[in-house]
Amino acid sequence: MYSGVMSVSRTLLGLLEVGPSHGYDLKRAHDELFRSERPLAYGQVYATLARLLRNGLVDVEGTEAGEGPERKRYAITDAGVTDVAAWLSTPENPQEYLHNTLYTKVVLALMSHRDAGQILDAQRAVHLESMREFNRRKQSGDLADQLICDHALFHLEADLKWLETTAGRLAELGQRVGR
């Protein structure tokens, strides 16, 4: 959910607050700690570090022998610490959930006389399949896996509750959007 560019840079910055590090170690720590679906690409790590450097949020603490960006050791600056602190203490924006692609699709389907119920049915099937996958991963995982999977499971469940509510009110919605 928070996989935007902004969040990767804040996450790397947060890791650097723990201690100075190389890009390579940052990537490994990130993938291991947060179990992200897609591991960070090195290119993204170095591009992010370059941007943080430009913005004065990190410094290059030392460059070891040899060529290439991976030899640089990065450290967080005071401005970086302030930025991380501000980010951590700012609640995530719940408005995120107002930008709902599925709702848009349902409305467009109703307006174009397509079967909106079918869109919801297909989405339910995909959501449930995804829940099964997280559930399996959770059964065999450690505590980190369990909590990460629970996060996904509760969100998918919330989506499904919305989906059922909407499925029950399609006719009403159809009238409102002028079907």
Partner 1 sequence: MILQASRLAKSFGATQALRGAGLTIDAGEIVAVMGPSGSGKSTLLHCLSGILQPDGGTVTYRGVDLGGLSDRDRSALRRDDFGFVFQFGQLVPELTCLENVALPLRLGGTGRRTAEATATVWLERLEVEEAGRQQPGDVSGGQAQRVAIARALIHDPAIIFADEPTGALDTLQGEKVMQLLSSTVRGSGAALVLVTHEPRVAAYSDREVIVRDGRTADAANAA
Contacts of 149 (CB under 8 A, 6+ apart): 134, 135, 137, 138, 141
Binding residues among 132-171 for partner 1 as defined by CB under 8 A: 132, 134-135, 139, 153-154, 156-157, 160-161, 164, 167-168
Question: 106: buried, middle or exposed (CB in 10 Å: 19+, 13-18, 0-12)?
Answer: buried
3-class SS letters over 50-104: HHHHHCCCEEEEEECCCCCHHHEEEEECHHHHHHHHHHHHCCCCHHHHHCCHHHH
Smallest gap from Cβ 174 to partner 1, in A, equals 16
**Residue span binding partner 1 (CB under 8 A) among the ranges 12-20, 27-35, 55-63, 115-123:** 115-123
**Residue span binding partner 1 (CB under 8 A) among the ranges 1-9, 46-54, 60-68, 118-126:** 118-126
Instruction: For residue 6, state whether it binds partner 1 (rule: CB under 8 A).
Output: no
Contacts of 172 (CB under 8 A, 6+ apart): none
* 8 Å CB contact between 30 and 22: no
Smallest gap from Cβ 160 to partner 1, in A, equals 4
Instruction: For residue 127, state whether it binds partner 1 (rule: CB under 8 A).
Output: yes
Which one of 105, 124, 137, 179 is in contact with partner 1 (CB under 8 A)? Answer: 124
Smallest gap from Cβ 38 to partner 1, in A, equals 23
The amino acid present at 130, given as its one-letter code, is S
Which one of 12, 110, 131, 170 is in contact with partner 1 (CB under 8 A)? Answer: 131
Smallest gap from Cβ 169 to partner 1, in A, equals 11
The CA-to-CA distance between both ends of the chain, in Å, stands at: 33
Interface size with partner 1, residues (CB under 8 A):
22
Q: Strand pairing of 72-76 and 58-63? A: antiparallel
d(CA 44, CA 133): 28
Site string for partner 1, 61-100 (x = CB under 8 A): ----------------------------------------
- The residue ranges that bind partner 1 (CB under 8 A) are 118, 121-122, 124-128, 131-132, 134-135, 139, 153-154, 156-157, 160-161, 164, 167-168
